[in-house]
Amino acid sequence: MPYPVLAGEVTFKVVSAALDGRNLRLEMISQRERVVAVHQVERREWDEARLEVRAELPEAELASERWSDVVCAALLVEGATNSRTVTRLSRSAGGIWTGSVPMARGAYRSRAALSVNVVATFDGVAGRVIGGSENNWIIDLVAHEPVRQRELHINEVDFRDGEVEWLRPFKDAPWLVETSGDMPTVHLNTGFEGISGLLNSGGGPLEKAVRGTLAAQIATEAWTAMFHSAVSDLEVDDDGTPQWPTGWRDWALRSMLPDVLPDISAADALWEIHSRRAEGTGWNELQPRIQYAASRRARVAKNLGSAIRVLNRSGQENQP
pLDDT digits (tens, 9 = 90+) for 163-209: 888 999 999 999 999 988 777 889 999 888 888 777 776 667 777 88
Q: Of 160, 136, 51, 157, nearest to 100 (Cα)?
A: 51
CA-based nearest residue to 308, from 214, 217, 219, 213: 213
Question: Is residue 291 a contact partner of residue 224, using CB atoms and an 8 Å limit?
Answer: yes
For 1, half-sphere exposure in the C-beta direction (CA atoms, 13 angstrom radius) is 14
Q: Check pLDDT > 90 for residue 87.
A: yes
Cβ count near 41 (within 10 Å): 6
Instruction: Specify the pLDDT at position 205.
Output: 78
Q: What is the SS3 assignment for 285? A: helix
Pairing outcome for strands 83-88 and 90-91: unpaired
pLDDT for position 162: 81
Report the pLDDT averaged over residues 59-79. Answer: 89
Q: How confident is the model at residue 222 (pLDDT cuts 50, 70, 90)?
A: very high
Judge whether residue 150 has pLDDT over 70. Answer: no
Question: Percent of the chain, pLDDT > 70?
Answer: 92
Confidence of residue 28 (pLDDT cuts 50, 70, 90): confident
User: What pLDDT score does 202 carry?
Assistant: 61
Highest mean pLDDT among 134-148, 233-247, 250-264: 250-264
Is 14 in contact with 76 (CB distance < 8 Å)? no
Compute the distance between CA of residue 304 and CA of residue 289 in angstroms, rounded to an integer. 19
How far apart (Å, rounded) are the C-alpha atoms in residues 282 and 266?
A: 18
β pairing state of 153-157 and 185-189: parallel
Q: Is the pLDDT of residue 142 over 90?
A: no
DSSP tag of 240? S
Amino acid identity of residue 68, one-letter, is S
* Mean pLDDT, the chain, whole residue set: 86
pLDDT score of 35 more than 70 = yes
Q: Which residues contact 311 (CB under 8 A, 6 or more apart)?
A: 206, 209
Q: In the predicted model, is pLDDT for residue 149 greater than 70?
A: no
Q: How far is CA 199 from CA 44, 131, 190, 314, in A?
A: 36, 47, 11, 21
| pTM of the predicted model as reported, rounded to 2 decimal places | 0.59
